[in-house]
Structure 1
């Protein structure tokens, strides 16, 4: 039997599960970051960042497995739980980013999988920054379409 898949708006009750998805996905794709960065970011992601934006999630058989957080056509976060990579969920979520879909995103430059994902979906690099939003020495790539 095929799993039941739906895309829906996230609610406050989903924050813990979404933060878990973020951490698993980020740890698998952000091997350039220090382990302590994830521990430091976790409360910010859950308590401040996710609640500040519109979040759509992919629910498979009652569990959140992927999500996109956005504001005004800008993708703030898009994470897919590693066991669900390669199933088209990230692409489906890009279409959920408000009217007109996703128009811009910032990705860690060393996240080559993420940069490739967006490039293969029509995004092009428009600029780079030497630090992330928290001022840490992780270069960022800004992509638009």
Structure 2
């Protein structure tokens, strides 16, 4: 598994990965209409202004996941569901940690993500609610100590 900084030309493929991953990860957490609205076009628009803060994981020269960060915080870490469990997320996380990332937020009930982060030494610091997509949702802030 290789990791490199994202390039502008990666955006369409990363947006497609984000759509697939988002729908798989949040199917039991978010409403169906919200999941439908988070399609590749939605993510491509978001990534157009943020691709320079992304790392991309590759397997056999094909992108299989990405991590988006802001300073020392992970905004997103998504793996293509077909590549999940094959080490790409761990490689992305390790690279981000080396760059100084120390916090991330995930849905409180996203147990798969929480277990993944815990296995890699991240600890739940606090739980809270905040507005997300028009509703109050439960989140957890995780930190790397």
CA distance in 2, matches of 1:41, 1:136: 16
Match in the other structure for 1:85: 84
Number of residue pairs matched? 141
Give the Cα–Cα distance (whole angstroms) in 2 for the partners of residues 132 and 120 of structure 1: 28
Partner of 1:143: 142
Distance 1:131 1:44, change over 3 A: farther
TM-score of the two chains, using structure 1 as the length reference: 0.84
Give the aligned CA root-mean-square deviation in angstroms.
2.1
Superimposed CA distance per residue, residues 19-65 of structure 1 (whole angstroms, 9 cap, x where no aligned partner): 11111112111122122213333444321256325101012233211
SS in structure 2 opposite 1:86? coil
TM normalised by structure 2 equals: 0.84
Q: CA deviation at 1:101?
A: 4.0
CA distances 1:71-122 after superposition (whole Å, capped 9, x unpaired) = 2121111011111111111111012226454311000111110011111211
Looking at structure 1, the residues matched to 134 and 140 of structure 2 have their Cα atoms a distance apart, in angstroms, of 14
Residue 126 of structure 1 pairs with residue 125 of structure 2: yes
* Greater fraction of residues in helix: 2
Alignment partners' CA distance in 1, 2:124 and 2:62: 34
Alignment correspondent of 1:69: 68
Paired with 2:100 and 2:131, the residues of 1 have a C-alpha distance of 24
Aligned residue for 2:11? 15
- Which residue of the partner structure matches residue 114 of structure 1? 113
Alpha carbons of 1:45 and 1:86: their partners in 2 closer, same or farther (altered >3 Å)?
same
User: Which blocks of at least 5 consecutive residues in structure 1 are unaligned?
Assistant: none
Check whether the contact 1:75–1:105 (CA below 8 A) recurs between aligned residues: yes
